[in-house]
Chains A and B, each alone.
Chain A
């Protein structure tokens, strides 16, 4: 169906890898922050809340630039991670995953937070009286009940990551095979004469991937929700 050239396949494969890694790495943080915002009152909550949602409202170029000066080779966090943990972001696909994760994060946190807020806390009390320590209550009651929201959040983040362009290109540039995702590849192809056909193929791939993500999330959420509607 898609008659893609090897270079185009590389962009598709890279996009998928970047988005999947971004989503999986962001997920534990998303659940933790969602839980914090849903359940805890603490000093500076409004600031944490603001920072989480900031990438949603900032121009992506600004987010990308902020990532560049903090996570770049000479940025304070980037230098630390490179020197002590050997993790390098600048001009690597890992940097693309980071910027995609940051851009998708607010979309991930929101449904998780709402799902956690919607949980009947009295069920958690009931679990405690049955002998479950707090950690087990979270694992056996809270998380499963929030599952539809967690799935929705993960899919939103994944879809956002697939489409990410501005922050990524600002942070890690547009290097074929390393940081050139589908969006960046389409942009590049449209800059060169005769690139429209190849761009069109990638556009089609982007549409199919986005649709597939939506359908998958609908299916998962329905399955997860079906188990306990009505109570």
Chain B
């Protein structure tokens, strides 16, 4: 079981973020109203935002430690990130998007793994298309595949379904559940939607106004 330990503080204007929690394997939900600091925390874990104080550890690796002056840059963290808006590369085909992480982290070609993920997310028929020709749901599935194919140690999903309507959400959630059960990659899943989280989360960290107000099992979603 992988362990993600987060203990961070950051001042953002009048907003103070001071969050401390541990995520142990499975799917950890970061749950709370918008403005609670969920995305900022996820950006800190990915290395896109630096905390003012504190430390972030993934298993034995120190990703960030303000006191020791350690801040591993995002490209060396091996943490997959699925953004709310997908952020597919518009100038690359779906296949090139999916392959980008593997190429950039200089991992050997692995056609079997590629085929497995493409099938798991049901995107095989989209491989030669450009992102602009895809529906919102298709884009998010490819964003998930792209992050998975870099073989991440941890997968961050920041409101991956927020830009989709209810029907689309129900179309994609089963893929994410399948991912949880088959892929064995620990995930941190940000959402303000309790119903969505109930289907996917294994444990919950509840945030409000930049602080952790509770952490535990999915009964916290009620």
Which A residues fall within an 8 A CB radius of B?
Answer: 120, 122-123, 125-134, 136, 140-141, 144-145, 227-231
Contacts and interface: CB of A to CB of B under 8 A. Distances in A.
B48 A125 contact: yes
A128 B132 contact: no
Query: Which of the listed residues A145, A227, A231 has the most CB atoms from chain B within 10 Å of its own CB?
Result: A231
A130 B83 contact: no
Interface in B50-96: 73-81, 83, 85, 87-91
A133 B75 contact: yes
A93 to B, nearest CB: 37
Contacts of B81: 126, 129
Secondary structure at the A interface, as helix, strand, loop or mixed, is: helix
B201 interface: no
25 contacts: A122-B83, A125-B48, A126-B81, A126-B83, A126-B87, A128-B73, A128-B74, A128-B75, A129-B80, A129-B147, A130-B75, A130-B80, A130-B101, A130-B147, A130-B150, A131-B75, A131-B76, A140-B100, A145-B91, A227-B91, A228-B90, A228-B91, A228-B131, A228-B132, A230-B132
Given A126-B81, A228-B130, A231-B132, A132 B89 contact: no
B88 A231 contact: yes
Interface string B25-60: 000000000000000000000111000000000000
Contact of B46 (A129, A141, A145, A231): A129
By size class, the interface of chain B is 20 to 34
B146 interface: yes
Interface in B89-115: 89-91, 100-101, 104-105
Contact of A122 (B80, B87, B90): B87
Contacts of A145: 90-91
A131 B130 contact: no
Query: Which of the listed residues B47, B48, B90 has the most CB atoms from chain A within 10 Å of its own CB?
Result: B90
A226 to B, nearest CB: 10
Query: Which of the listed residues B88, B104, B147 has the most CB atoms from chain A within 10 Å of its own CB?
Result: B104
Given A122-B83, A125-B48, A229-B132, A130 B91 contact: no
Contacts of A227: 90-91, 130
A129 B157 CA distance: 12
A228 B104 CA distance: 21
Contacts of B76: 131
Nearest to A137: B75
Contacts of A130: 75, 80, 100-101, 104-105, 146-147, 150
B28 to A, nearest CB: 18
B87 A144 contact: no
Contacts, number: 77
A132 B91 contact: no
Contacts of B79: 129
Interface in B116-146: 130-132, 146
A128 B83 CA distance: 13
Contacts of A127: 89, 100, 104
B89 A123 contact: yes
Given A126-B89, A130-B104, 6 more contacts: A123-B90, A128-B75, A129-B80, A131-B78, A136-B104, A140-B100
A228 B96 CA distance: 14
Contacts of A140: 100, 104
A127 B104 CA distance: 9
Contact of A131 (B89, B91, B105, B131): B105
B48 A129 contact: yes
A7 to B, nearest CB: 46
A136 to B, nearest CB: 6
A130 B151 CA distance: 10
A231 B90 contact: yes
A231 B97 CA distance: 14
Nearest to B43: A125
A160 B102 CA distance: 43
Contacts of A229: 132
Contacts of B101: 130-131
A140 B130 CA distance: 16
Given A122-B83, A141-B89, A129 B132 contact: no
